Amino acid sequence: MLSTRVLDGRRISREIQEELRPRIDALRAKSRAPALAVVLVGSDPASQIYVRNKVKACQELGIRSLDVSRPASITNQELLALIQSFNIDPEVDGILVQAPLPKHVDAEKVVLAVDPSKDADGFHPFNVGMLVANRRGPRPCTPAGIIEMLMRYNIPIAGRRAVVVGRSDIVGKPMALMLMHENATVTVCHSRTRDLAGECRRAELLVVAMGKPAAITADYIKPGAVVVDVGMNRIAEEAEVKRLFSHEPSRIASFAKNGSALVGDVEPLAMQNLAGAYTPVPGGVGPLTIAMLMANTVALAEQHLRC
């Protein structure tokens, strides 16, 4: 077994948020606190938890949060009108519409409806273009948090061979761009990639965001590589939990109590045995996403209030 470093996302998240406090105090002293509008449509339990955590982070930092819930039956027109009301409100700095949205809602129109200068998620095509050009603007929170974590752990990126598994607009594509901006040599893998294991084994830095529990096994990991597991999958099969967490009796005991367990996209024991550094699940990438959402909101408020 290699000597490995656990990349503690909770610690890095706390660091980032503490660094935001004096900036928030400066905004409040000059004009007002930053404000983030968070829109939740429907009653998806996971989305409710995500929104609750985001609102809690706002409250702890002194960011004003507008927590707006709407039923799953909301029409496209009603949701777009709600977003527009936040667009024109000078007291709102950031807007976030929690995904996923009900199937009848046009998600593309929702993304386009958000004013790019209030796009706390960094998903608007204008801000995606700013990312491609490596110009200042709100960045998608999860990949931005990963870059922050790597830098704060002094993990080199420039010149390294990086592999990103997954090509979503939320994580995979912006992650590849951000790594390229840091001068990594980047390969993006996806469902049509031939010899995925072979591609992954070439990586000195492996970022996995494919949404399949424990799909990346020991055969995919180069010994000593840095492995960033973005996945967050809930499993409820007892045999699978015991197989994946045979080395962690506490996780098995937690499963027996709760009836489910969280696992990333990378097989936990393989990651722990082979990686030179890795992000645990939970406690790795997840907390960074919220920290960077707060950072985006503060930066947008600074632009609006010219601080």
103 part of the active site: no
For residues 77 and 74, give the distance between their C-alpha atoms in angstroms, rounded to a whole number: 8
Q: Which of 132, 129, 79 is nearest to 108 (CA)?
A: 79
Amino acid identity for residue 205 in this structure: L
Q: Which of 98, 119, 173, 229 is catalytic?
A: 98
Q: Which of 54, 118, 173, 222 is catalytic?
A: 54
DSSP-assigned letters across all residues of 24-44: HHHHHHHT---EEEEEEES--
Q: Which of 121, 222, 229, 272 is catalytic?
A: 121
98 part of the active site: yes
Q: Which of 154, 122, 150 is nearest to 135 (CA)?
A: 122
157-161 long-range Cβ contacts below 8 angstroms, 24+ apart: 157/182, 157/183, 157/184, 157/205, 158/182, 158/183, 158/184, 159/183, 159/184, 159/185, 160/184, 160/185, 160/204, 160/205, 161/185, 161/187, 161/202, 161/203, 161/204, 161/205
Beta strands in 153-275 (DSSP E): 161-165, 185-189, 205-208, 226-229, 233-235, 261-263
121 part of the active site: yes
What residues act catalytically? Answer: 54, 98, 121
